[in-house]
Amino acid sequence: MAQSTLPSLRDIARILFRQKFRAMFTFAAVVAMTVLAIIFLPRQYTSEAQMYIRLGREDMAIDPTAATGETMQIMAEREGEMKALVSILESRGVMEAVVAKLGAESILTQSMPSEERREIPGSYLMNSLSVVREWIGVLVDGQVPPEELAVRRLIRAVKVSAEKKSNMITVMCTLGSPRLAQAVMEEVVTEFQQRHIQAHQSTGSMEFFASQKERVRQELAAASQQLRDKKNATGVVSIEIQRDIVRSEIANLNDQVADASRSLAEARVKVAALRRQHPAAVEGLDKVGIAPEESFATGITASALDEMRQELYTLELQDRALAAKYFDEHPQRVAIRQQLQEGQNILAREELLYETSNIATFQSHLEALHEKISESQDKLQHVNRSEVDVKEAEEEVERIRQSFAEYEKSYEVSVINEALEKERMTNVRVVQPPTLELRAVSPKKFLLSVVGALGAIVCTFAVAIGSEYLDPTMKTTAEVEDELELPVLVSIPRMSRDQMRVR
């Protein structure tokens, strides 16, 4: 048996010629099916909307419940936000809201209630397919309400896309009515904006911060009153000022102690000098039983001592004048010298008494100064002890005041957010409203025509070759010789009856 080879073009042409009726029927059937598909396939219309997500207030971290201070932090991952927005658009909740507004019947019948109902090519086929799909759903899932069917249809009809590194979101809806597709897109965009606002809304934040602000206000009033009571109890208005005043008093008293100590030392030096220079005056005091070291007061003043010194100086001048006239033994000079000696003794005694009185005065003054210093030091210790209580009270007041300021800022932010939400302000901007496309996007006639033509050609060749392969008869002399391994002597062509009669 000879080896089989691939058929040549001539063989293929011979096969097509022998199977011409089947090939022609197949080609015509496929072309007819393509034409019927173009005519009767349901028309689908698309409505498209585009939204731009700009950097708005929802992207700023000024949520009063998220931070106690006003922090403005831009979201780091823009891509994550875009994915979240796409998820909201594709969510079942949005589709259910659209079905509730437009009605399940409009979605299932693919027409608006106000739209004129007219039969279009393929509407009967589309409705029949919908009925079949619903029956299949009933058999699989049980009885399904029309709202659920409408939601499922919208989930299949609405497509959302967002390019990477882009702030644009494109939403498309494909349905059997152009106005219905546009209405669905309008409702989807509106519902998405509302849900986007609700997603960034802090529910109850304004009431919460209002109550917290009032509570902290009352705490601040109580803490301030407690601070005033502590200051009144200690008699201190300002710890630092009071401490400076007491320190200044102590420094002044120490200066006075130094002056008094110096004056006391000078008085003691004068007393010691007088006792050495005028021992007779000291003996006179000892005879009357008065000790110079005792503290007592005299009526002698510094001016009186100066007058006594002036009188002694006058006597000395008189003695010098008499010395020029008389001898030392002259009675006048003797009398003047006696007066001068007695005056010096009296002056020394009075000076001694005066300085002794000053010593006693300085000593008592030093004792009084030391007592005042001790009192001032006690007062300083009292101020230092009171500083801890007053400082703790002041810190508590300051802490509550800062907390009140933070709550007040948060309350203002929540009021602003509430106002913005009432005005429906969002960072989603519809740059292209839902379009009304009256030209059907499906079926694509040119694409179907090309596919139908190619399918008709392929099916024609497939049917012809398949029929030839399944036919067991031998058609050529070569097949007879190959099959029987005998030479062909005569080949009689097939003739019709008419041809045979003529011959």
Instruction: Supply the DSSP string of 372-383, one letter for each residue.
Output: HHHHHHHHHHHH
DSSP SS3 for 286: helix
Residues 185, 49: contact at Cβ < 8 Å? yes
Please tell me the predicted confidence (pLDDT) of residue 262.
87
Rounded to an integer, what distance in angstroms lies between the CA atom of residue 314 and that of residue 143?
147
In the prediction, which pLDDT does 61 show? 42
Q: At what angle do helices 331-422 and 302-323 cross, to 10 degrees?
A: 150
| Number of neighbours of residue 111 by Cβ within 10 angstroms | 19
Find, among 286, 283, 284, 304, the residue nearest to 294 by Cα: 286
| Cα 156 from chain centre | 39
| Alpha-carbon distances of 232 from 225, 247, 381, rounded to whole Å | 10, 21, 17
Structure confidence at residue 48 (pLDDT):
92
| Cα–Cα distance, 290 to 373 (Å, whole number) | 34
Mapping DSSP to helix (H, G, I), strand (E, B) and coil, where does residue 244 land? helix
Tokens encoding 81: 């936000």
Peptide bond into 279 cis (omega under 30): no
Handedness of CA 90, 92, 94, 98 (dihedral sign): positive
Q: What's the pLDDT score for residue 379?
A: 79
236 within 8 A of 383, measured Cβ to Cβ: yes
Backbone angles phi, psi at 53, to 5 degrees: -100, 100
Query: No. of H helices and E strands in the chain?
Result: 16, 4
In 3D, which of 167, 163, 159, 180 has the Cα closest to residue 49?
Answer: 159
Per-residue pLDDT of the chain (503 residues; tens, 9 = 90+): 444 556 677 777 777 777 788 888 988 988 889 888 877 777 888 999 998 887 655 554 444 555 444 444 444 466 777 888 888 888 999 999 999 998 888 888 877 766 554 444 555 555 565 556 656 655 565 567 888 888 988 999 899 988 887 888 999 998 888 888 899 999 999 888 888 877 766 666 777 778 888 888 888 888 888 878 777 776 666 667 777 888 888 888 888 888 888 888 887 887 777 777 767 666 555 544 444 444 344 556 667 777 777 877 777 777 777 777 777 777 777 787 777 777 777 777 777 777 777 788 888 888 888 888 888 888 778 777 777 777 788 888 899 889 888 888 887 877 776 666 655 556 788 889 999 888 888 777 788 888 988 988 898 888 888 887 777 776 677 777 777 777 877 777 766 666 666 55
What does DSSP assign to residue 43? P
Integer Cα distance of 138 and 102 in angstroms: 24
Q: CA neighbours within 13 Å on the CB side: how many for 165?
A: 0
0.75 cut: is pTM over it? no
89 in Cβ contact with 171 (< 8 Å): yes
pLDDT of residue 76: 46
Query: What tokens were used for 498?
Result: 């008419």
pLDDT at 170: 92
478 vs 1: CA distance, rounded Å: 12
The residues facing 159 across adjacent strands are: 172
